[in-house]
Amino acid sequence: MSQRRRFPKIAPSAFQHPMDTKALEALKRVKGVDFVVRKVNEFGFERYLYINNIADNVQVNRHQCPKLYDMLLEACEIIDVDVPQLYINQDPAVNAFTFGTESPFIVLNSGLIDLMEDDELFTIIAHEVGHIKCGHVLYKMVAHFLRFAAEIIGDMTFGIGKLLTGPILIAFYEWDRKSELSADRASLVGVQNPDTVIKSLMKLAGGCHKVYQQFNKDEFLRQADSYKELDESSLNQLYKFMQVVFRSHPFPALRAKEINEWSLSTEYRNIMDGIYPRLDIDYYGGRGDYQAPAPPATRGTVSCPNCGIKVEPDAKFCHVCGATIVGAIAIIEKNNKPSPPPKKDNRPRCRNCEAVLKASDDYCPSCGFNTRFDF
C-alpha cells in the first residue's frame, strides 16, 4: 500500500462533474429510457455478463495476480467503495470497462495491462472505481445492452429499427461521454498526480512502447486548444458533431486538458486537504454530530474561498476561477440591505443550463460548465 491520502465517507458530489449530472437528468427525461432500464433489469443482463466473465476471463484476487488486486483494494479504500470483482480479458485493445449493479465488476483488457506502467494502471483502476462510486454502472450496462440490441433490431428490420432507437441511443451516448469526466476526476483523487492521469490518457490516444518516452505533455494539452479554435467555422462544428455524437468517450486531448484544469482548482485542493462533502454529514440538514448554522434572516453575499470575489448566494461555482462553493466551505457574509433585482442585458448564456454568463466567465456560475471546451 502506498502513502496516498484516504478520503473516508467521501460523497460522489465531491468530484462528480456538473455536466455528468446534467446529462443524466436529461437522459432520464427522454421518452422510452425508463422502459429500457426496466427491461434490462427484468432480463437479468448482468447475470449474462457474469457468466461470460467467470468462464472466459481470469478473475483477480489475493491468490491470482495479487499486485493488481492490491491496486484495486487501495483505489477502493481511497475513494471509499466496496471492493468489486476484477477480471482480465484477453484482448489487445487498450480498454477497460465496469458493469453490474448488484455485484459490480471491472474488466481490464490484456492490451491495457501491457501498455501501462504501474501508476498508470492504478489510475485506470481508480477511474473504473469512480464509475461505481458515482452510480454509473446501471446506465452504462443499459447503454451497452441498447447498442447491442439496436444492431440486431436494425439488421432484422433492414435499418428501420435504428430510426426508432436512434434518439435514445444519442441520449445515452451524450451522458456516457459526460460520465467519463467524473471518472477521470476520481482517477486523479485516487492517484493524486495529474501528470500520471495525463500520461495514461496520452497512451490511450496513441501510446506505444517504441515512442512513448518521446511524448510531451504540454504539446498534448495544446492539441485541446487547437481543437477549440476550430469552432470559428460552422462547417468544423458540424464535423465535430458528426464525430462525437456516437462516441462513448470524449476525445483524450480534451479529457487531459479538463483534468489538468481541475487539478489546479480549489475544489481539488480542498479534497486533498480533507475538506470535502461527506456521506455521513449533511451540511444543510444537520445529520450526525454536525449542527447546521441557522439561515441568515436577510439575503447575503458569498465570497469565493479561492479568489475572494463576491458571487450570488445560490451560486454553486465561482464564475471567475471555477472554485466550488458548497456548504461549510463557502464564506457567508451577512448583508442587511436586500439585493437589487437583476437587470436585463444581452450577455451570453451557458450552453448547458442557459444561465447568463459574463464575458470573463470561464465557468458557468450555475452548473460549473467549462465554457472553453467541448466534449
Q: Which positions are annotated as active-site residues?
A: 128
Q: Which three cell numbers stand for residue 118?
A: 504501474
Closest listed residue to residue 132, CA positions, set 103, 109, 108, 110: 103
Please name which of 240, 97, 236, 244 lies closest in space to residue 170, comparing C-alpha atoms: 244
Structural Rg of the chain based on CA atoms: 22
- What is the C-alpha separation between 375 and 368, in angstroms, rounded? 14
Question: Is 179:136 a contact under the CB 8 Å cutoff?
Answer: yes
Q: CA angle, corner 174, sides to 171 and 178, nearest 5?
A: 140
Alpha helices (H) along 57-99: 66-79
Side chain identity at 218, as an amino acid letter? D
Write the single-letter amino acid at 298: T
Q: Is 303 helix (H, G, I), strand (E, B) or coil?
A: strand
The vertex-96 CA angle with 102 and 87, nearest 5°, equals 60
Residue 173 grid cell: 451516448
* CA separation for the pair 116, 200 (Å, rounded): 7
d(CA 21, CA 193): 25
Residue among 151, 152, 143 at smallest CA distance from 170: 143
3-state DSSP assignment of residue 369: coil
- Cα 205 to Cα 37, 215, 243, 301, distances in angstroms: 32, 11, 15, 44
